[in-house]
Amino acid sequence: MNFELKPLSLAEVAAEKCDAVLVLMGQEFKPARDGFSAFIGRALKDGDAQTAAGKILSAYQPGMTQARKVVLAGMGDGSAKSVRSAVVAGLAAVKSDRLKRLVLAFAGPASPAAIQAAVSAVADATYSYTTTKSKAEPRSLQSICVAAAADLKPAFDRAVAVVAGVEMAKEWANRPANHATPTLLAKAAQGLAKQARVTCEVLGPREAAKLGMGAFMAVAQGSEEPLRFIVLKYSGAAKTVAPTVLVGKGITFDSGGISIKPAAEMDEMKFDMSGAASVLGVFRTLGELKPAINVVGLIPACENLLNGRAVKPGDVVTSMSGQTIEILNTDAEGRLVLCDALTYAERFKPRAVVDIATLTGACVVALGAVRSGLFSPDDTLASALAAAGDAAQDLCWRMPLDDEYAEGLKTQFADVANVAGRMGGAISAAKYLQRFTAKYPWAHLDIAGTAWKSGAAKGATGRPVGLLVEYLLSQPAKASK
């Protein structure tokens, strides 16, 4: 899909050849003297059109434009949330197989946040997965012209780059597990290294054993697919600038292992590598934008299956940190692969480490599908991530990390158990991860409720690529110690 920005007036929008025009009307709109502006002004004056967010008025071949269809959509106060509502409602009114070129115009002032929200909403509303379909139906919309002031070009370019990252995350999370094995995920990461400033290293079982990644290897040993530990690096700043490390859970399919999951909706466990997919998406965006920052992406990728070699409840393994872990539940595997990756992250002397994982059903119960769970003992890091989520409309909510929540992780057979009781399960999972993060500022994003949708709209959301990119680009350079 091709996005372009043109500094067009409403009169010039009316002259653009396209299939549809979507006009976002703000509360401050004042019509000019041209026919199209006057049409919008009359519709508002008569009450047929409204500026309230999401309210629409459709017109078929109204005559004063080159478009077959015109939709006037209210964008309220022009905030990112209101703009998204307007675009979603407007596209629902014009969406059809015949829609190839769309002009999206702002009737009223547009902010950088509004531009970003509009571009993101158009991409989300028209996304179509095609990879494993014999008769694919790709998105019909091929070209989107955004009519807005030229000084909004930086915000527009950033939004388009984020869309590329979000759609890469969606692609890999949506793929069935046999089309997104650890090896294939590693090849996708290696493909990103074709971008400027991006490098990729892939470690296999032998290297993981040499590193002592006993927890990671324990999860992988029940599958015929070999594990892959993926190390992506984006180097946009001097070597003295400390990197931010992103750690993405890459369980390409999660059966639960010996603690097997119920059959219902188990197919959705292909989405258990959504954290890894989000890291790939972030690096796709970084390659487009080329910011002056350093970022490392770590993806421990494997399947959690069961065979004669699979890890058993009660087994004790030794993590890369040297801590021993009693595996009471093999379906709590994400924290096992993450803990070794969090220890590996120490070698980069990071300014901060953020892990992203579809970790717990308990987080879905707590926050639903609206906000990702945010856990961090560092107030500065937590505040920055929460603010980035607000700015990107990729929301999260900070959860507690009181030490009392770790009481259930105590065991007489190892240094720590991999699960506590049912109560506060998302928090005890985060407390487990915290044990491996003493040497740097750390945050954990539990995206189990936000990474994908179930039901008729089943599919990956691409979250939290937007949040992560916003956070990375908002941080000032900081030298390594």
Active site residues: 261, 335
H and E: helices and strands count for the chain? 14, 20
Length of the chain: 481
Q: Catalogue the E-assigned strands of 142-207.
A: 143-147, 198-203
Opening angle at CA 252, ends 357 and 298, nearest 5? 55
How far does the chain reach from its first CA to its final CA, in angstroms?
Answer: 43
Beta carbons within 8 Å of 468's beta carbon, 6+ residues apart: 246, 278, 282, 354, 356, 388
Amino acid letter, residue 39: F
Whether 252 and 272 have beta carbons less than 8 Å apart is answered as yes
Estimate to the nearest angstrom the gap between the alpha carbon of 480 and the chain centroid: 28
Query: Could you give the C-alpha distances from 268 to 252, 276, 372, 451, 460, in angstroms and in order?
Result: 11, 16, 18, 11, 10
Query: Could you give the C-alpha distances from 431 to 349, 351, 399, 403, 424, in angstroms and in order?
Result: 22, 21, 11, 8, 11
Verify cis geometry, omega within 30 degrees of 0, for the bond prior to 350: no
140: three-class secondary structure by DSSP: coil
CA distance 172 to 347: 28
Query: Could you give the C-alpha distances from 148 to 58, 61, 172, 461, in angstroms and in order?
Result: 21, 23, 33, 27
CA distance 303 to 220: 6
Of 269, 258, 266, the C-alpha closest to 328 is: 258
Q: Catalogue the E-assigned strands of 262-404.
A: 294-304, 315-318, 324-327, 352-357, 372-375, 396-398
- Torsion angles phi and psi, residue 65, rounded to 5: -130, 170
